[in-house]
């Protein structure tokens, strides 16, 4: 039976990357649930809203094993959601040492901390472990990354699956949402802002993704944690869309000038790291086993629009 609540008061829950987009959504949702002792962690100072109360913040550099073990030892988490990672795909390609430290070596530190505390782990992974030849993918599809970011995320998955830690891997796709301090953009905000400024945009129509609202990814991770689900789960949106289609839905919603957007293909852009063409996920397993219910892209835009109004 699927549960939205934790099993038998499992103890503290620790979130890595709490200052980031997913981390913010996780902490907000956990505070709403009022079911856990919450340990929010991130590199450096806390950047969560000052008005939020009811959690403990601990500065933790995930690339420093002694720092990780110290925090895990102090707070003794029984559930861990590991969302921190280096995710700039082009930067990962050129700064490989940093990428490996954050995306692979750090995962081994988190696993050591989980093993020491007997904690269950949810680890966030990506569609970029695939080459994009045959998407959308289910959980049984064979990975074949075509960039270094994808390689490191796949190495991290293998570390987790080979470990003795009870763990679930939440694979996701093109996460979009609004952070409280507006520090991060996304395709919806970028298209809206650009068209409002009179710019013309070219968007590719040969890449397929299942864009994921950050709130939905957070909810999927918490469903995994509540059920201590083991193995791989695709936690993404359900609609398979191209960036061009996402842009057109955005201008439709905000009633902007569609003529400012033209479609092109991936050959028009030079990027440092290769991108898989057709990914996206089949999410039937998460729907059946976790009662995961992602929102439509149109509903996601509506949620972002409301959050923008609140922020302004």
- Whether the upstream peptide bond of residue 136 has omega within 30° of 0, thus cis, is yes
Q: How far is CA 10 from CA 119, 137, 230, in A?
A: 9, 33, 16
Q: Is residue 300 one of the residues assigned to a domain?
A: no
Distance between CA atoms of residues 203 and 222, nearest Å: 33
User: E strands of 55-129, at which residues?
Assistant: 55-59, 79-82, 120-126
Distance between CA atoms of residues 174 and 300, nearest Å: 13
Model pTM greater than 0.75? yes
Compute the average pLDDT of residues 68-92: 98
Using alpha carbons only, what angle is made at residue 245 by residues 242 and 249, rounded to the nearest 5 degrees? 145
Mean pLDDT in the chain?
95
Terminal alpha carbon distance of the chain: 42
Give pLDDT, residue 10.
Answer: 76
Q: Is residue 260 one of the residues assigned to a domain?
A: no
Distance between CA atoms of residues 217 and 157, nearest Å: 18
Q: Which domain holds residue 30?
A: 13-179+212-236+280-295
Q: Is residue 48 one of the residues assigned to a domain?
A: yes
Q: Is residue 23 one of the residues assigned to a domain?
A: yes
Give pLDDT, residue 81.
Answer: 98
Tokens of 271: 């990027």
Comparing 163 with 10, which gets the higher pLDDT?
163
Give pLDDT, residue 310.
Answer: 80
User: Over 70: is that where the pLDDT of 1 sits?
Assistant: no
Confidence of residue 95 (pLDDT cuts 50, 70, 90): very high
- List Cβ neighbours of 121 (8 Å cut-off, separation of 6 or more): 80, 81, 82, 110, 111, 114, 160, 165, 166, 167, 168
Q: Is residue 308 one of the residues assigned to a domain?
A: no
pLDDT digits 0-9 by tens, 130-171:
999 999 999 999 999 999 999 999 999 999 999 999 999 999
Compute the average pLDDT of residues 280-286: 98
Q: Is residue 140 one of the residues assigned to a domain?
A: yes
Q: Is residue 253 one of the residues assigned to a domain?
A: no
User: Over 90: is that where the pLDDT of 8 sits?
Assistant: no
pLDDT digits 0-9 by tens, 234-270:
999 999 999 999 999 999 999 999 999 999 999 988 8
Q: Is residue 56 one of the residues assigned to a domain?
A: yes
User: Over 70: is that where the pLDDT of 5 sits?
Assistant: no
Q: What is the domain count for the chain?
A: 1
Distance between CA atoms of residues 161 and 63, nearest Å: 20
Q: How far is CA 159 from CA 5, 111, 169, in A?
A: 28, 9, 11
pLDDT digits 0-9 by tens, 99-114:
999 999 999 999 999 9
Sign of the alpha-carbon dihedral angle for 221, 92, 108, 233: positive
CATH code of residue 150: 3.40.50.720
Q: How far is CA 167 from CA 80, 81, 225, 304, in A?
A: 9, 10, 9, 31
Comparing 309 with 140, which gets the higher pLDDT?
140
Give pLDDT, residue 271.
Answer: 92
Compute the average pLDDT of residues 4-28: 87
Confidence of residue 180 (pLDDT cuts 50, 70, 90): confident
* Best CA proximity match to 181, nearest among 15, 24, 16, 32: 24
Give pLDDT, residue 196.
Answer: 96
User: Over 90: is that where the pLDDT of 213 sits?
Assistant: yes
The residue behind tokens 């609140």 is 310
User: Over 60: is that where the pLDDT of 308 sits?
Assistant: yes
């Amino acid at each position: 039976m699927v549960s939205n609540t934790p099993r038998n008061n499992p103890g503290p829950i620790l979130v890595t990357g709490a200052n980031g987009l997913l981390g913010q959504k996780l902490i907000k949702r956990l505070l709403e649930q009022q079911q856990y002792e919450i340990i929010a962690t991130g590199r450096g100072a806390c950047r969560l809203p000052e008005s939020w109360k009811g959690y403990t913040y601990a500065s933790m550099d995930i690339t420093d094993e002694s720092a990780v073990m110290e925090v895990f030892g102090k707070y003794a988490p029984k559930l861990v959601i590991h969302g921190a990672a280096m995710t700039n795909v082009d930067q990962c390609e050129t700064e490989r040492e940093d990428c490996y430290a954050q995306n692979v070596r750090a995962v081994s530190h988190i696993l050591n901390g989980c093993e020491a505390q007997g904690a269950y782990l949810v680890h966030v992974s990506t569609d970029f472990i695939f080459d994009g030849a045959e998407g959308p993918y289910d959980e049984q599809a064979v990975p074949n990354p075509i960039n270094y970011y994808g390689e490191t995320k796949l190495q991290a998955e293998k570390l987790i699956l080979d470990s003795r830690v009870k763990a679930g891997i939440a694979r996701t796709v093109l996460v979009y949402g609004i952070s409280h301090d507006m520090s991060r953009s996304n395709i919806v905000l970028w298209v809206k802002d650009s068209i409002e400024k009179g710019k013309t945009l070219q968007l590719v129509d040969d890449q397929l993704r299942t864009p994921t609202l950050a709130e939905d990814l957070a909810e999927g991770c918490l469903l995994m944690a509540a059920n201590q689900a083991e193995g791989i789960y695709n936690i993404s949106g359900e609609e398979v869309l191209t960036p061009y289609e996402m842009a057109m839905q955005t201008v439709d919603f905000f009633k902007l000038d569609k003529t400012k957007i033209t479609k092109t293909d991936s050959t028009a852009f030079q990027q440092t790291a290769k991108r898989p063409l057709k990914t996206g996920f089949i999410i039937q397993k998460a729907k059946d086993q976790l009662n995961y219910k992602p929102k439509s892209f149109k509903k996601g835009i509506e949620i972002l629009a409301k959050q923008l109004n609140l922020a302004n």
